Structure 1
Amino acid sequence: METRSKLKQGDFMTSISGTHWLDYDIRDLTMSKVLAKQVHERPDKIYIRTTGGETMTYAETDVATNRIVNWLRSHGVSDDTHVAVMMENSSAGLLTMIALAKAGLVGVPINVNARGPQLTHYLNLSDASWIVADAPFAGQIAEIAGEVPKLDTVIFWGESVTVPGVRRTLDLAEWRSGSAAPFENDSRHSDLAFILFTSGTTGLSKGVMFNQSRTFLWDEGVVSDLDVGGRDTYFAVTPLSHASGLFSGAFMMMAVGGTIAIAPRFSASRFWDEARATGATFTTLLGAMVGFLESVPPTDGDADNPMRLISAGPYPATWQSFEERFGLKLVSGYGLSDHSSCTKLPIDAPPEKRGSAGKPIASYEMLIVDEEDMPVAPGVIGECLLRGRFPWRASMGYYKQPEAVLEARRNEWFHTGDSGYLDADGYFWYVGRKKDAIRRRGENISSFEVEQFVAMHPDVEQVAAYPLAAELSEDEVAVSIVTTSAALDAPDLIRFCIEKMPDYMVPRFVHLTAELPRNLNQRVEKFRLVQWCNENRAELWDREEDPALRRRARAKPPG
């Protein structure tokens, strides 16, 4: 693996390192300057396209976001306001995110499934005093408004809704009355632009801070290593509240002068028709999405589509047949919102390297270490550590959690908490999570937060949440319960969870037990629970086998 000592002074002036990236000086990577550059060079090129038929050019995007910013300012938003955004994938949602960054405000993207204690935590930790939301989420906001002291203003897009306990509500559809005139903006590339929440692997979710330039550089490898550029249209089927949709998709496409195609959500049955209609050439598929596409019956026209690249996580064992069927290339990478997207599997990777996450890109170093932070030999599994070779190649840390920053960034490296190994050729092979998290269908779920929700049930004495392997890929959420009442059964518990938790976090498997296995320090030995459940799967209560409680989306692939 190349080390810093091998870098030459001149390397810092290349197009992918040091003070420059592509034809940008890093110090010019702010939303206002990047959008202004595209308006100057390609004003009439379509930047936003939706599966519903909407289109917006770069010039129209510039005017629309000017109007939004000026309208917000007319209602009292100030330069230090933190604004949460709780919106489905849409042109309106993306325009809101762009406008906040363009104005130098701090955006806080929120998963639209968040509710109850989780939503309260997001808003309080991020200091969000304003929320922009789609009207259907008014109920979730109303439930917790009284528990968020700083919450002052809620703005709904396209509908005026009253939220008890909030000083005022507004209708953002009125933004069209805002002035289209450019506004003063002195944002620097180093200014805080967004706070994105992690899965909360060892506690409550942490808010990762992204400065302005970081939002464009988070996944720079798609340009340097995958040759994505202005000719491409990225198809956003993952939420724009995630780094993959917002940074790898929308903001990366703006930086290179490309197009972002937005779908409200992933649909296996509509995916290829939507890709053809929008001209999509590149996308990211997470979790079981590749499996869902494979499950759709084949047709003679499957390869007749504009898609040339799909970044898949996890990488499917059926990659060869998938590429042949759909006439494209599957690529992959490794990254996390806490730090960066830092490896890429080359388009021309040899067959024996398929399934790896590729090699670290030029801007990053990767090290695999043992429990004492000592490097291990190629092929030996250890914890993955990361660091950037150049300035501004990592997040700014965790908002209001300096102790978590110190814990993660010790010995001059960022500790990912993930296990894997580098092979003799420098390819990274991801093995699993050292940290206590569950990954279900592209969502990183905190087992701690699942446990906190389940423990709210009055008849639950002890609870442990952990992953069990799913049929298609990744994990399903399982819980083992010690109950104080013989009357509590699994269906009752799940009905309680459905009322309290985002649906993607609700457990699928329930294991009622007399005790939880613990070590000498009284920590629950979850690996023993996983082992027992894998050996005795038939004894678990399975939500998918209860017609009244099964997830509707699980009856067949989405769409």
Structure 2
Amino acid sequence: MRLKTHVADVTTLRDLVRVRAAEHGDREFAVVDDESVTFAQADSEANRLAHGLLARGVAKGDVVATYLYNSVDHILVWFACAKIGAIWAPLNIALRSHDLAHTVSDSRATAVVVDGELLPRYLEVRAGIEPRPRVEVLRGGGEPPPGFERLAALRAATAAEPPADVRWSDPAGLIYTGGTTGLPKGVLVANMWYFPGIFRYAEMLRPGPGDVHLGNGQMCHTIGSAVDVVAPLYWGMKTVLTRWFDANRVLERAREHGTTLSVVIGPAMVPMLALPELPDDADNPLRLAATGTGGAPRELVDGFSRRFGIDLLELYGQTETGPLGCVSQRLDDRPYHSLGTANGWADVAVLDTDDLPCPAGETGEIVLRPRFPRSFLLAYWGSPDRYVDACRELWFHTGDLGHLDERGYLHFDGRMAHLINRRGERISAFEVEQVVAAHPGVARCAVVGVPVGTDEEIKAYVEPVAGVALTEPDVVRFCAERIAHFKVPRYVEFVEEFPVSVTKGEIERHTLRARGVGDAWDREAVGVKVRRKV
């Protein structure tokens, strides 16, 4: 299949794993901390797991959810799904309680694979998952609870490729991402969705013999899977991952494995820049990285590049529009401050509130349209109306603000609606509001994102129930027990009333956002800790 000037020798993940195994055999493919797998092993072990899934009734089109840290096993389970045409649904390991139960239920998974460290969290909500996965598998940990079996038990004796009719247009992944008006939404993608990202990787980073990729993402995200795993697989490269991103280990891993190419998003830059500066920071093999900075100040991006000696190319995109940004810079085409162009992968426009084109330099909503079939999302899982609305007028509406300059280069200007982008996570303010409102001491609430430095932080405005002695730490601790740590509000401000619109009587969130942090209580300033629980 031809995509622009590129000719794909395979068009499904199933065939990609098999063909690269035949080409590269016992060469090392992926390293995750202290474990590794060769190209040949990735193929044969994925086949064994695929037979195990088939034997348990998992079929083409069924969803297999993974609640796993980055690991070789996680990669193999994913590839096993690809082998039989099952839909891989990686769950964010930070999910807990309310949002974990919702996401597993929403996926309607036939099977789920859970890390031993995450098992207590899964068991806590297991009874409330509807429908509950028929096949439940434990990776590591102690004795499997009733109804679970070990991952090792799925490995069949035969390493032969299982029979399956899998096409480029078939669904292959279900990736959950934050929504603007509700809980995380499932983005259904086809096999073909991965392939434009593969070739954009080549256009941006120009991999050659001896190049090694450094992965900084989690596999539940597009970067951590489609870019950190699939792109290196296609180009026959070794990829180096970690179980969980740790800013202290990025350069250590780069030097240990000689990694030369990477993707470093803005939220990863900040903790790396916060580390004590060392004279040899730039003495590392990383030479080039793609980055999505989400409007971070230019001085931060340039400072990162200078300190660590890494050339950076900007990109823009969303899970829905494919891996590695369908708008991006190139080494020979990167006008200062712009995100670049679509480089023939999509059409780009900026529209006003009536869905009419904005003139050059005027801010509006960024909209995108694919030039190749199945290269954008297939659907929002179980939400056809949401999909139709997002794709109205034959444009995918991103919900982001931007403008095109006189030469057609895209510039990012901010975000619309109630979506909060905090440290690389897209968080629905509506979802956090639901949890805050569930506290018996809360009469009414609103959650907004407020700018803090180069990032957004979550602020909850709370109207307490009359006569109830509610405190700010009460609100934070209540949330921490029910949602992922990165969704817990940092700021809490008690109010007696909310600004409301005259026409609908709705809370004017734009007014609340405009107040910024203000005099709000800050959990970080007073030392109230919210830790990621495993």
TM-score range, shorter chain: over 0.9
Report SS of the residue matched to 2:40: helix
Q: Which one is further off, 57-66 or 32-41? A: 32-41
* 1:520-542 superposed Cα distances (whole Å, 9 cap, x missing partner): 212211121122234xx2x2110
Tell me which of 192, 195, 204 is aligned to 1:216.
Answer: 195
Within the candidate set 26, 37, 49, 1:68 is matched to: 49
Residue aligning to 1:4:
none
Matches within 5 A, 1:388-403: 388-403=370-385
Tell me, yes or no, if structure 1 residue 239 matches structure 2 residue 182: no
1:8-407 equivalence runs, <5 A:
16-17=3-4, 22-24=6-8, 28-52=10-34, 54-151=35-132, 152-159=134-141, 161-163=143-145, 168-176=147-155, 178-218=157-197, 220-228=199-207, 231-314=210-293, 316-340=298-322, 341-349=325-333, 353-407=335-389
- How many residues are aligned here? 524
State whether residues 499 and 508 of structure 2, in contact with CA within 8 Å, keep that contact through their aligned partners in structure 1: yes
Residue 213 of structure 1, CA deviation:
1.8
Match of 2:526 in 1: 546
Q: Which moved more, 1:288-297 or 1:226-235?
A: 226-235
Deviations 1:3-40 (A, max 9, x none): xxxxxxxxxx8x532xxx73315xx4111211122122
Q: Which runs of 5+ in 2 are unaligned?
A: none
d(CA) in 2 for partners of 1:384, 1:104: 33
- Which of these residues, 470, 481, 485, is aligned with residue 488 of structure 1? 470
Distance 1:287 1:328, change over 3 A: closer
C-alpha displacement of 1:367: 0.5
Distance 1:94 1:354, change over 3 A: farther
Q: CA deviation at 1:337?
A: 0.8
Aligned-residue offset at 1:60? 1.2
1:386-435 CA distances to partner (integer Å, 9 max, x unpaired)?
00122222110111211111101111111111100111222211111113
Q: CA deviation at 1:230?
A: 6.1
Note closer, same or farther for the CA distance 1:67–1:160 as it changes in structure 2 (3 Å cut). Answer: farther
Deviations 1:224-258 (A, max 9, x none): 23324564322222111001110122111112222
Tell me, yes or no, if structure 1 residue 531 matches structure 2 residue 510. no
| Residue deviations 1:417-467 (CA, integer Å, cap 9, x gap) | 110011122221111111311111111111011111111111111111111
TM-score (norm 1): 0.89
> Relative to structure 2, which stretch is displaced further, 75-84 or 273-282?
75-84
Q: 1:509 to 1:230 in 2, by over 3 A?
A: farther
Any idea what the Cα deviations from partners look like across 1:252-302, whole Å, max 9, x if unmatched?
A: 111222222111122222210111112222222234321222222233322
Q: In the TM superposition, what is the alpha-carbon distance from 1:153 to its structure 2 partner? A: 2.3
C-alpha distance in 1, partners of 2:81/2:209? 24
Could you tell me whether the CA contact under 8 Å between 1:343 and 1:360 is conserved in 2?
yes
> Helix, strand or coil for the counterpart of 2:476?
helix
Deviation at 1:185, TM superposition (A): 2.0
Q: CA deviation at 1:218?
A: 4.2
The CA distance in 1 between the partners of 2:516 and 2:429, in whole Å, is 17
Q: 1:362 to 1:417 in 2, by over 3 A?
A: same
TM-score (norm 2): 0.93
Q: CA deviation at 1:328?
A: 2.1
Tell me how far apart the structure 2 counterparts of residues 162 and 62 of structure 1 sit (CA, whole Å).
27
Distance 2:363 2:345 in 1: 23
Where 1:247 maps in the other structure, the secondary structure is: helix
CA distance, structure 2, for counterparts of residue 131 and residue 463 of structure 1: 35
2:448–2:513 contact (8 Å) kept in structure 1:
yes
Q: CA deviation at 1:144?
A: 2.0
Q: Retained in 2: the 8 A contact 1:50–1:91?
A: yes
Give 1:88's aligned amino acid.
Answer: Y
Q: Which runs of 5+ in 1 are unaligned?
A: 1-12, 554-559
RMSD: 2.0
Cα deviations by residue, 1:90-138 (Å, 9 ceiling, x for unpaired):
1111221121112211111100111222122212222113110101211
Change in Cα spacing, 1:76 to 1:389, as seen in structure 2 (3 Å) is closer
